[in-house]
Amino acid sequence: MEGVKKRLKEVFENPVRYRRIFQNSPIKQPRGGILYGPTGCGKTLIGSSIAAACGLNFISVKGPEILDKYIGASEAAIRDVFKRAEIASPCLVFFDEFESVGGKRGKDTTGVGDRVVNQLLTFLDGVEVSKGMVFVLAATSRLDMIDAALLRPGRLDLKIEVGLPGKEEREDILRKTIRKNKIEVGNGVLDKVAKSKLLEQRGERGKVYNGADISAIATTAYLKAVHEIIDKEK
């Protein structure tokens, strides 16, 4: 996960920090990328944290929310997103569930999907020559469904896989979830039972989990501890 963040920070932070150097450079720095991998692995969190780390304003868009049954409405929504990004420059536009708006053309009988992809291509090409500092980061669990034109150089050409967390990352997610849910709040009995339940939950499941699963394990352990204490006091 840290390697992913480091790579993205290099791509999105340097052009802002050393803007004059990059503006005069004959080699264009990537302005867009796509994160791909299993759902629940923290791709959305990566997007927001990178924007904060790089000093970029952050506009998050869920792909399905862009789509509209009325002719022209979806394309207008795309235009509005990039218009807001230009105003908020320097800005990172984050498209979640990108396969819903960036799917391969020719698969949609209504033609809406094709028009949305064409609109995205227009704006991604415009980002390259934009006077403002607008970057685009997309996230998908189905890279195979994305239209190839969107992934060509100058568009979303930076492709980074976000896989399941390793052992240290899983432990870190657990610690953060414990702090977030205030399991360690000074109530000795509750802490003891909650931690016991947490170990049980972790031991009951032998497979490797994504970040969302791990957070759910910690939350479930805490709730089990609460209910156990309540049952004892009845």
pLDDT tens, position by position, 143-196: 999 999 999 988 898 999 988 777 677 667 666 666 666 555 444 544 554 555
Q: What is the pLDDT of residues 51-71, one digit of tens each?
A: 998 999 999 999 999 987 677
CA atoms lying within 13 Å on the CB side of residue 97: 8
pTM of the model: 0.74
Host H or E run for residue 216:
helix 211-233
Are residues 37 and 65 part of one domain?
yes
- Domain containing 191: what range? 167-233
Q: DSSP characters for 149-196? A: GGGSTTSS-EEEE-----HHHHHHHHHHHHHHTTS-SS-HHHHHHHHH
Is residue 143 located within the same domain as residue 172?
A: no
Q: CA-CA distances (angstroms) from residue 85 to 43, 52, 104, 113, 147?
A: 20, 15, 25, 22, 23
For the residues 73-101, what does the mean pLDDT come to?
93
Is 181 in the same domain as 115? Answer: no
Looking at the fold, whether 157 and 184 belong to one and the same domain comes out as no
Residue at a domain's end among 137, 161, 185 = 161
Q: How confident is the model at residue 141 (pLDDT cuts 50, 70, 90)?
A: very high
**What CATH number is attached to the domain comprising 65?**
3.40.50.300
Residue with tokens 């790579």: 7
Question: Is residue 218 located within the same domain as residue 175?
Answer: yes
Q: Domain boundary residue among 134, 161, 188?
A: 161
Residues 28, 108 within the same domain: yes
Count structural domains, the chain: 2
Return the SS3 of 225.
Answer: helix
The token pair that represents 48 in the structure block: 């927001």
Residues 65, 102, single domain; the answer is yes
Residue that terminates a domain, selected from 126, 145, 161: 161
Question: Do residue 220 and residue 151 come from a single domain?
Answer: no
31 and 130 belong to one structural domain: yes
Q: Are both 135 and 215 inside the same structural domain?
A: no
Structure tokens, 118: 């064409």
